[in-house]
Structure 1
């Protein structure tokens, strides 16, 4: 009979509080490599050598696990963009640093980036996660307004600028991390090239 517990196997691999992080990490890896269909709490319990009941203390259902993954990924992304923007003056310079931080985060956390773009993952997102995303969108809109007040694309429609910013940032992150684009685009997916692409939109024309 197995002696595994929610603390892990006899080698003490999982102390208090570590199993949740181990489950999230393994789930991200599984989702990135194999997709939602292959994600199973029981299978992860076997791989981590804990009892089948152990993961249920952290995630009652697969949907709970998917929401937790989405929350962790989005929190990490928003923390990175907020940190990059914190020391920049409000307006286009802050927008530029936020966009670059987004792309850099996607490069550094490629598996997480793929996972939070998965519709099946985000389908299980709860209201607090949607509120986080809405708050980030509001921040982007405020910085667009500030940038226009400084003369950056002052005659453009703010809603159009917002859509363009989101599309450009998310699209650039995908180009930077998705193998589909790496081979045909080659050096065009380097950080320098992608930064130059962002700057076609986000350069501070008012300071030129």
Structure 2
């Protein structure tokens, strides 16, 4: 199995490169920091599996997935990201991803998921698999997520008990921007405070 990894975070990219390169079932790992960089070298790069983040500089991961599928339809594609909101999940799947694993999964889970993908499977983190199932079941309470990807991530950070300052540091934005996002979140969810927002977010599957 020959893997191309597209991940903009240098530490994450190098860590994954070391992890994947140490597996006997993986023949080669080629890494890129952006979708544009991969596309510039794709003509000279042989690979069977694309492991890609979604939050990339420049071209979004879903757009890259679509372009790679058009150029290399035989390549299997797995998303590896923090995003678990409906918008990103279904955008990636519709673009051509057959796997969707959340960052935070164990190294063994990631390796086994890549092997499953290469063998024709469609591995997904449990949270993602549930979202896909609920979409097809059309659960009455499962209204579409009105939040943006960033707003959804901020809601999950609030649930984890992070302060405005900690959220700002996590996403490299100002506390004022965090406050604006939270105000928008309350308005979109029609919530009357933190607990109400979390309750409504759980009901529609954001958290």
Shorter-chain TM-score bucket reads under 0.3
TM-score by length of 1: 0.27
Larger CA Rg, structure 1 vs 2: 1
- Higher relative CO (Cα under 8 Å, sequence separation at least 6) belongs to 1
Counting helix residues as a fraction of each chain, which structure ranks higher?
1
Counting strand residues as a fraction of each chain, which structure ranks higher?
2
